Amino acid sequence: MSKKLWQKDVEVNKLIEQFTVGKDIEFDMLLAEHDIKESAAHARMLEKVRLITKEDLEQLLPGLDAIGMQIKKGTFKIENGVEDVHSQIELQLTKIAGEAGKKIHIGRSRNDQVLTALKLYLKSELVSIIKQAEEVFEVFIKLSDKHKNILLPGYTHFQIAMPSSFGLWLGAYAESLCDDMEMVVAAYNICNKNPLGSAAGYGSSFPLDRKYTTELMGFAQMNTNSVYAQMTRGKSEKAVAVALASIAQTLSKFSYDVCLYLSQNFGFISFPEELTTGSSIMPHKKNPDVFELVRGKCNIIQGIPNQLTLLISNLPSGYHRDMQLTKEVLFPAIQQLKDCLDIIAFALPQMKVNNNILADTKYTYLYSVDALNELVKKGMSFRDAYKKIGMDIKKGRFEKPAQLKHTHEGSINNLGTEKIRKQFRKIVAAVK
């Protein structure tokens, strides 16, 4: 007979069981260590408010520790017929702690149990993502500084526009990660609220001490209203998905730039041959598959908030089984983004840049605005200077300025690198 904590004396139809469990067991293993942390906090609280005895607690905590060690070693398994990781932990705890194990669920529903473990998991993953993003950020910043004096053509509408530089280009993506971290910190703050004690969404007649469990689990505060605590299921996942999508947008756009700049038509950058792939019939090919896949994966991740919106937007308050599916949508996206951050951090430092790009005469007109500005500095009106430079270009007598002088903050000759670094560190310090 299947082992379900809620099951009475009727065996659930096998087809119904298979459909309703879905991929829960596969993704639930990611929540296992967090369920242990939550259950330990819940047990301590139950003893504090005298719903279990000190002797019960002395049985429960070592039992939870033992299961936690199995999880860390990778030996913990969900047995056949057990519905989910939360049921497995309770059943195993009861085997270890005896009657005390049967008391662990006092004042708790699987609704707030799952939601609490989920929030602990999301918090942990967001911290991990911040650390990985910080590594990529530092690569961008260091390369920006290293190549700050090497010029690069800037484009609008895929037409050459104005002079840029590798420093300006790479620094732009560093600063983009700053805004992405604002989104990550916001998502972290939403997840950093304890729903435990909301039970099935309507609280409990037991005298639970929710402030105590909030402190024990390291949440900043609790979701006060028990109904709203349950309403954060889905909302929390969507907040995280929006943060992931923000980072993904940055990585996708950068990867597109890399693919473009690597092509022979541009030839701005190159990578060691071992970081590229070849063709089955064209011996000369060095394909940027890594960056194409980052672009593709990150574009898919940018669609995750929409998937979650469609999943949760037509539901009333209270728990609904639809929420189970948020894990199937979000959990793989978290790992995909972490993989993308890892590969960017590995590959990007190996990029080589072409340090003489603008010597090509096709880039001469990049300097038209600088030439126009020089005339304005000498007293000519902007509109007259614009017409003059336009006519010079049309008649083939345009000459580019001898040197560039872009000195304002955030320009070629004043990147503001340290300011961007301080901004990033200030943002992520809110989580660390």
Which tokens hold the place of 64? Answer: 């939870």
For 79, 315, 356, 371, the CA distances from 162, given in Å and listed in that order, are: 64, 51, 16, 11
Helices in 10-75 by DSSP H: which ranges? 14-21, 24-28, 32-48, 54-73
Whether 208 and 226 have beta carbons less than 8 Å apart is answered as: no
Q: Which of 128, 263, 279, 381 is catalytic?
A: 279
Q: Which of 157, 280, 284, 313 is catalytic?
A: 157
279 in catalytic set: yes
| Residue partners of 66: CB distance under 8 A and separation at least 6 | 96
d(CA 403, CA 116): 60
- How deeply is 413 buried, as exposed, middle or buried, from its count of CB atoms within 10 A (0-12, 13-18, 19+)? middle
34 in catalytic set: no
Nearest to 389 by CA among 372, 367, 406: 372
Which tokens hold the place of 130? Answer: 């911040």
Q: E-strand spans in 291-337?
A: none
Active site amino acids: 157, 279
